[in-house]
Structure 1
């Protein structure tokens, strides 16, 4: 008779109406309990640690999506808060609630944990509650009632350590005061007896026996100290006596202790009744706190793994896209135990694929690939982040079933093949009665029996699974299974890479190409006797299988050549992008230099105009002088003609020289590159030119070219630009400079007002006042005062590049 199967508590509740044994076997084979243990190490509370180890998997996609949202929201908040979210002070209140709801009396320490949990919950609710940023977690904490009245009552009635405070009961305070007086009285009497009976005592210390104070009296002087004997020494030389003078006080203290304990129990019972009255509220609070703790544990574990939140599809036929997936247990081993670097795998299964067969040598990583995909599906279902890059995407798998490893059992008289068959039978039953979609993982399908029969059985099994499961991933060494892809579009091949030069696996997963077993190469790497290997090679006669291996080898070499070509193309693309960035950098520099030259020319022109105006005004003053005569007028006229001849011809010459319109076929110079180009076409408005420079063909603005003799282009037709200027600001600068900027940071409001008012008197345009952000008091004070100044038109925040909200721009009439 077979022994009954013992089901562990983890995830059993999520299985309903189908074969639980197949599901639990899968969890054990994939080592899901270790993932749960690692997750539990990131929990903050004791109840969170226990729940992370035993919590069931979600039974629907909606629950999983809610867990994902909780994880993402609280993980972001945990990163933003310095030191992270803290669950310090939060305890599991369910044992206390259970005792109180049944009429029991909780201890003072247990009642204090209720008060501490309520205080910590209120702090967490304040940190988490934000409907816009964290809608899911905010809805969760809104259901938390923190009962501040109960918390204050508990803290008022209990002291640190759970001791009932004197203020909790007037009777208790009076009894404790009476006990203190009696203890002091007894201590004084005993001290007096120590002094008066020192010669009869073995020791001058007040001892204690059976919770009563005693004196160590010599055996021969027992009659000298009347009282009650409580004990004697092992040698019989010392007798411990409670003096008669303090016996009555001791009896009174015993009675007081009983009354005090009774009063403390009454107070604790009253507090326990208050907790029992709010049992449902407190249970909801504990459940919400546990949910938040688990969400935070998932977020911290995912961040530690370097994970990404997966996109779960409701469509059963949704594809599997997992880029650079790493086995979470191997990542843990690498980071915690200094293990080897984890080689990631990529899984890209289209919506029409149903079966993927992975082939390749032993020790090449086939089983690790199976377990990685299986754990990824379970972690995604649990609302956890996946150790992938990019955005992983996969369907929500209602079932994950696996047959990995050897189920040989001597007690059950099962061979290796028999163990596989029984496990696969349970998987088929689960697929028949369980929900969809399902992910099935089979390791060494058809192994353990005659190769021909095993191949036939594996072929039939994979075809059956293609009809029943969303995706089946199977590892095999049978060459016939590699050919299923070419007869059924639902099948695909994959292989683990093997380096023939180093005779070692690379643990990479390759798609579309079947792999070779490389048994002799692996045996060589593992140190098998060379003579045995030589004989094996001699016995390995050419067979159809070897011809298939030759084809596979050719495909691998072709894939290697394609990969090399792709790497070369990627390098060329990188160099092209680098060249493009250099060209853009040169263009920006040229544009900046052009703007600089234009600014310098404008400044020179303004200077020349000012000098000309100054000289003309001087000539006019000479003509208006009373002493001016005809000779003076003649000289002034000659000077005016010289000034006109100096400016007007140059301007006309410059104008005539600079006016130039490019035409199709003209040779022009690109300013950004400094190279000549040919105009191929022009836009309708004449603002865009299509040019060819060498082999490069591009479109540039007309302002970025010039003629070969240095003439600047004029757009055709010339655009008409209408400019509306502010008359009141015509005399002042419209941009921020050091002359129209005032810094009042650090001043009081009245000091800032005086400084701004002095600057406004001489203002010839807008004034920029830097007041900073800080508390906003200085800004508000200045804005209020400026609202009363009659010659201030408006006050606005500066642009972001000029200071933003920390700087105000004052416009005057």
Structure 2
């Protein structure tokens, strides 16, 4: 009983009515208005899962889930089971319901990551053959169609012929007796065809009078000449009714045969509609999904919690703005006492918490900022407002006590069955019942001293027997409980001393001040009276109020600093986003410039190749002489100087390698290295069409740097040369290996060569201090590895590179040693 009282006190039926406006079907609206509160946490979690998936589905689909065609066919199914004959409209509703649920299942099956909804509709049977049969026999108006049976079609054909004969005869009578006819029309009275005859000329057209006008001036007569035809028409009409009824009876029997499946179909459709209503209502509230926390381990966190009924009032009834409250209850807290002035929002806070707990239990999202963390309460019990009865002679205090007694009885009854509850829900290891108790003005309505003592005893009892109790009070003695028992916490509603009005903000850890004397003084009450009252109160009370005022001022300063810090953080985030955007623009610009450069180089190479081809063709046209070869070589050198970019600064210790371009000062020629220098310092080169062997001492780089001459070693001291994958020269032994970290490792597997180059550039810059860079490119086809090696070969910061050992990745990893 007390739980039903609590629902009424929290205005839960009003919230359910708001929820029903988001339902798409009549059954969904009825289910929303009579929302059942699950008895177990498992059921609540299942409802929340449904709401989350529908919420996600509603955001994916343009128009959301559609429940078109689904109607309440429950009564029709019951009558079909009792061998009644369904009407055409009822049969048509069954067919549209089958089609609508099939469309729902199709939409859900076509989506991914909806395991709960997919399982819900997995066993849904929509009987398309029954739907097709109904549509074949029943037209869109709910009438039995001619195509339902040949017999029915034949009867209706005879009826049309009979009706034509009757109309033909009556039209002839109207033309012949036009003076006796009141109006030249053919109408029906009952199932008989009649014509309107003037009362003064009734003998002119003998027949049966079936009706008379209100004035008596017109008689509706069935002429004797068509009576037999009318009788035949009535017989055909009865035959038609019997045949149509037989068709509907067959369809009804088919419906009755699958009644259990259709009832399940209707239940699933209602469940989906209810879940959709919860999701749409939650979206409208801008609410977030709750997470059920473990008692005694996690903090209840409800940031910027808003009262859902006040939100509705604000948006639909032009109400005032809703001021949210913050609720943070530490795991060890069992009782929270809220103090403060009247109309300050204490009662609204209680109701908001109660509604939030109920909404989480039924699968609704809670109108608060993420994260929304709240326990699952077995019972939610409340004593809010006055309960006065003139008939029972009950005072406000008596009404409170009677309701509190019922609350304690409900808690004790739950405690007796707590073993069974814990057995069903193994997660609930908390020994006391998981009840939420909300008490408004606890202990009020009687002598303050006795009421205060009773309130203290009651709250201490509830601290031992409930998961959380939240109570509002004006008793100052309750503020001290926090300092005597760690399970108690104080909170207060803020009051503006300047405007003498509440701000509706909830302050945690600070008890409310007594503002009566302050308000009286500022409102102009006689100063002597206020001072006398202050003497009665005592200095200790004033000292406490000053301490509380100091705490409130300190809290405001901290909040101001927190707001300033938040603003600085916001500006820093904005600056970070701006820098990131500019960096992205620079990177994009760099890629564009690189692409343009590559395109320019390709164009220059193509042009150079064309010019070289012209030189070759001139040589091929006649007998080539040495002078011709020298002229061709000079022309190619001019092409090279014209199209190739200026040579990069040579590396220290220049060593000509195969494919390098070198200069031979003695011959004033530029040549290409064909073979690497031998131990004597000799190497083969080619310029033009001529090949020759030259000494390292006679060559230099294109930059004018002299070649490094080899140092001859004793045979016993020779070591096996280490050769880079891309270079033929002998390298000095590597330094001691560096430690591989995430800072000097870059993973480019899956990249294209062009995209990998930018990643390599960043990796080289990041690993400069380390002196070595591990490049993970994978094995694959080898194209990425080849591109990496070509890039490293030309990079000025890379001294050398080699493939890693097998334990480091082998051919899938290249180690680059940086300068």
d(CA) in 1 for partners of 2:775, 2:743: 18
* 1:52/1:294 contact within 8 Å kept: yes
- The within-5 A match list for 1:238-257 is 238-257=218-237
Secondary structure, in 3 states, of the residue corresponding to 1:241? strand
Matches within 5 A, 1:220-239: 220-233=200-213, 236-239=216-219
- Change beyond 3 A, Cα 1:521–1:107: farther
Evaluate the alpha carbon distance shift between residue 84 and residue 630 of structure 1 in structure 2; reply closer, same or farther with a 3 A threshold.
closer
Q: 1:611 deviation in Å? A: 9.2
Aligned to 2:30: 50
| Residue 545 (structure 1) aligns with | 541
Q: Does 1:443 align with 2:440?
A: yes
CA deviation after TM superposition for structure 1 residue 171, in Å: 2.4
Q: Structure 2 CA distance, aligned partners of 1:559 and 1:169? A: 84
In structure 2, the partner of 1:484 is: 481
Q: Is the 8 A contact 1:685 1:716 kept in 2?
A: no
| 1:561 matched residue in structure 2 | 557
- Does residue 468 (structure 1) correspond to residue 442 (structure 2)? The answer is no
**1:561/1:256 Cα in 2 relative to 1: closer, same or farther (>3 Å)?**
same
Distance 1:632 1:433, change over 3 A: closer
Change (3 A) 1:578 1:130: closer
Q: Distance in 1 between matches of 2:700 and 2:569?
A: 54
SS in 1 for 2:118: helix
Contact 2:378 2:435 in 1 (8 A): yes
Alignment of 1:13-24 (within 5 A): 21-24=1-4
Partner of 1:44, secondary structure, is: coil
SS in 2 for 1:199: coil
Tell me the equivalent position of 2:625. 625
Say whether residues 1:356 and 2:336 are aligned partners: yes
Cα offset, 1:167, TM superposition:
2.0
Do 1:318 and 1:395's aligned partners in 2 also have CA atoms closer than 8 Å? no
CA distance 1:155–1:465, shift in 2 (3 Å):
same
Cα distance between partner residues in 2 of 1:165 and 1:599: 73
- The aligned residue for residue 418 of structure 1 is 398
Q: Partners in 2 of 1:454 and 1:234 — Cα distance?
A: 79
Instruction: Measure, in 2, the Cα distance between the counterparts of 1:223 and 1:720.
Output: 120
C-alpha distance 225-556 of structure 1, shift in aligned 2 (>3 A): same
Q: Which residue of 2 is the match for residue 145 of structure 1?
A: 125
- After superposition, the Cα gap between the structure-2 partners of 1:593 and 1:134, relative to the gap in structure 1 and judged at 3 Å, is closer
Identify the residue that residue 182 of structure 1 maps to in structure 2. Answer: 162
Query: Would the aligned equivalents of 1:504 and 1:522 in 2 still touch at CA under 8 Å?
Result: no
Shift of residue 234 of structure 1? 5.2
CA distance in 2, matches of 1:229, 1:279: 50
Per the alignment, residue 667 of structure 1 pairs with none
The Cα of 1:225 is off from its aligned counterpart by 1.6
Q: Secondary structure at the match of 1:477?
A: coil
Q: How many residues align?
A: 668
1:78 positional shift: 2.0
Give 1:397's match in structure 2, choosing from 369, 373, 377: 377
Relative distance call for 1:252 and 1:69 in structure 2 (3 A) is same
Describe the shift of the 1:80–1:266 C-alpha distance in structure 2 as closer, same or farther (beyond 3 A).
Answer: same
Which of 290, 305, 310 is residue 285 of structure 2 equivalent to?
305
Q: Structure 1 residue 265 and structure 2 residue 245: aligned?
A: yes
Answering whether residue 554 of structure 2 is matched by residue 501 of structure 1, we say no
CA contact (8 A) 2:290 2:372 kept: yes
Residue segments in structure 1 that go unaligned for 5+ positions in a row: 1-20, 656-681, 690-699, 706-712, 736-813
For residues 3-18 of structure 1, the aligned pairs below 5 Å read: none
Tell whether the 8 Å contact from 1:355 to 1:492 is kept in structure 2 after alignment: yes
Q: Answer with 515-524 or 379-388: which moved more.
A: 515-524
Which aligned pairs between 1:657-696 and structure 2 lie closer than 5 A? none
Matched, 1:92 2:72: yes
Residue 507 of structure 1: CA displacement? 1.3
1:360 to 1:717, Cα distance in 2 relative to 1, 3 A: closer
Quote the residue 1:516 is aligned against: 513
Contact 1:623-1:633 at 8 Å conserved across structures: no
CA distance in 2: counterparts of 1:580 and 1:149, whole angstroms = 63
Once the two structures are superposed, the pairs formed by residues 25-174 of structure 1 within 5 Å of their partners are 25-129=5-109, 133-174=113-154
**Are 1:72 and 1:299, in contact at CA under 8 Å, matched by a contact in 2?**
yes
Q: Which residue of 2 aligns with 1:695?
A: none
Q: For residues 583 and 217 of structure 1, do their structure 2 counterparts lie closer, same or farther at Cα, with a shift above 3 Å needed?
A: closer
Question: 2:764, 2:773 within 8 Å by CA — same for their partners in 1?
Answer: no
TM-score, normalised relative to structure 1: 0.73
The answer as to 2:451 corresponding to 1:454 is yes
RMSD, aligned CA: 4.4
* CA distance in structure 2 between the aligned counterparts of 1:83 and 1:721, rounded to whole angstroms: 50
The alpha-carbon deviation at position 204 of structure 1 amounts to 2.4
Contact 1:495 1:510 in 2 (8 A): yes
Moved more, 35-44 or 339-348: 339-348
Structure 2 CA distance for aligned equivalents of residues 623 and 106 of structure 1? 109
In 2, Cα distance between equivalents of 1:328 and 1:199: 76
Q: Does the CA contact (< 8 Å) of 1:61 and 1:314 recur in 2?
A: no
Query: Does the aligned pair in 1 maintain the 2:198–2:219 contact within 8 Å?
Result: yes
In the TM superposition, residue 259 of structure 1 has moved relative to its aligned partner by 2.4
Which residue in 2 is equivalent to 1:382? 362
- Equivalents in 2 of 1:174, 1:243: separation in Å? 27
1:297-353 deviations in Å (ceiling 9; x for gaps): 000000111111111236576532111111111111112223222111121112211
Question: Is residue 277 from structure 1 mapped to residue 257 from structure 2 by the alignment?
Answer: yes
> Compared with structure 1, are the counterparts of its residues 178 and 346 closer, same or farther at alpha carbon in structure 2 (3 Å cutoff)?
same
The answer for the alignment partner of 2:692 in structure 1 is none
Contact 2:181-2:198 at 8 Å conserved across structures: yes
When residues 630 and 125 of structure 1 are mapped into structure 2, their CA distance, relative to the original with a 3 A threshold, is closer
Q: Distance in 1 between matches of 2:575 and 2:52?
A: 40
Q: Rg: which structure is higher?
A: 2
Q: Whole-Å Cα distance in 2 between the matches of residues 28 and 631 of structure 1?
A: 107
In 2, Cα distance between equivalents of 1:337 and 1:476: 31
Whole-angstrom distance in 1 between the partners of 2:272 and 2:156: 43
1:286 has 2:266 as partner: yes
Alignment of 1:567-582 (within 5 A): 567-574=563-570
**Displacement, 1:418?**
0.5
Q: CA contact under 8 A between 1:362 and 1:519: conserved in structure 2?
A: no
SS in 1 for 2:303: strand
Q: Deviations over 1:529-550 (max 9, x none)?
A: 7447984465333523222211
Q: Any idea what the Cα deviations from partners look like across 1:354-395, whole Å, max 9, x if unmatched?
A: 000111111111111111110000000001111111121111
SS at match of 1:540: helix
Assess, with a 3 A threshold, how the Cα gap between structure 1 residues 210 and 597 changes in structure 2: closer, same or farther.
Answer: closer
Distance in 2, matches of 1:50 and 1:596, equals 63
| Structure 2 residue runs without a partner (length 5+) | 419-432, 638-663, 672-697, 709-736, 745-760, 791-819
Specify whether residues 532 and 375 from structure 1 end up closer, same or farther in structure 2 by C-alpha distance, changes over 3 A only.
Answer: farther
Alignment of 1:322-361 (within 5 A): 322-361=302-341
TM-score (norm 2): 0.72
